[in-house]
Amino acid sequence: MSSQLYFQLITPLIFLVFAMGFGLIYRYTSDQDSARYFAISYLFGAIAFVLDICRSLIPGIIDNMVSNLAYMLSAGLFSVALMAHYRRKKPWAVLSIIGLVALCTSYYFMLIDDDMAVRALVLNFFGSLLLGYPVIALRGMKRRPIDRLIYWVVAFTVVQFQLRTIIVLMIEGSTLSEETYSGSLSAVTFQLLTSVSALLMALALFAMFGMEIVLKLRRNSETDILTGLLNRRGVEAKLPEFENALANGVKSHGVLVLDIDHFKEVNDTFGHSAGDEVLVACANLLKELKVEQSIVSRVGGEEFNVVLYNVDENTAKLVAEYACSAFSNLTHPAIDNKVVTVSIGVALWDVDASFAEATRKADTALYRAKSGGRNRVVVARTKIVQFQTRGAERRAS
């Protein structure tokens, strides 16, 4: 086997390896649909280069027609993959039109007016349009460093397609033919620069997918799966910000501990599925508090915690009273439109106490709220505030 053939096989091998890599990402991640399109794009790229190598084994017209189609599909699907990854509309219609015009024009200069130099210029030009669509569509989008890297690698690939083609055709355009193509400067530079571009793009994309998978794993480890709220680990990750604020002059934060009243009876009467729906609805209500920089978490069972940033006792009490009132007026279809109430303990977290100490005080206040009749707010070392339930007879107890 000649050294030239070894060199030619490197490019389809690179494309095939990365196609398999993207396929594995798609196979083992549930939210990376773009990886499927990247995998198919790289697969078509591998097929196209293999067909280029097999020019001597397959009739020229058939080989050219199929390889040109594979190249266009590879470029177009890559653009679709990028658009899909950034949650943009997949431009099937536009890319299909560009690809169809490219193929029809190249087939014209193959079957009717045979001119390989013009055909190469046409295919590279329209291939650049297909690959360059995201460069225009995603321009100005706020990006992470890895996204900017991918953007500029794609832009570089588009530019090099154009410049390389023009320069090479100026050098050897008049001598380029089917017989001389395999060893021509056009073929060698195309394979080399495409290999480099494909490698750079794939490595950047794998880095991006890796970062997103790690971020997702971290987010899942810090998030309650049922409600989407933070769990204990998620709260601990955010506490340093609150601790730093206390060290830098913020006087206090508010800590609210909420517990759904008679939740066991909800599960026993309506089932755990209905209980889960109630928990989700309660979590959504807490999310709607929209207190700036607050932490809302589910710490287990029917218990929730809210940490309010830079508030005094009166503000923390007002937020707790609002939440208690809102719960007592929220009906739940899953339990025959009954309401569930909450008891809330409130405490202040200041520079003289730790978060754990403030939470213990709020827990003690919650216990007082429970033992005092439920559906009420108790602030540590202060009086009880009770709330009326919307239609007492509708309460799930």
Active centre residues (catalytic):
302
Distance CA 49, CA 73 (A): 13
Question: Letter for the amino acid at 175?
Answer: T
Alpha carbons within 13 A on the beta-carbon side of 325: 8
Instruction: For residue 177, report the phi and psi dihedrals to the nearest 5 degrees.
Output: -150, 175
Beta bridge partners of 256: 306, 346
Q: Residue written as tokens 């949650």?
A: 87
Residues 6+ apart with CB under 8 A from 393: none
Distance CA 289, CA 302 (A): 18
- Element containing residue 342 per DSSP (H, E): strand 342-350
Q: How far apart are the first and last CA of the chain?
A: 82
Residues 6+ apart with CB under 8 A from 42: 15, 16, 18, 19, 22, 74, 198, 202
Sheet holding 342-350: strands in order across?
295-300, 303-308, 252-260, 342-350, 376-379, 384-386
- SS3 helix, strand, coil % of the chain, rounded to 5? 65, 10, 20
Nearest to 227 by CA among 263, 182, 277: 277
| Biggest distance spanned by C-alpha atoms of the chain | 96
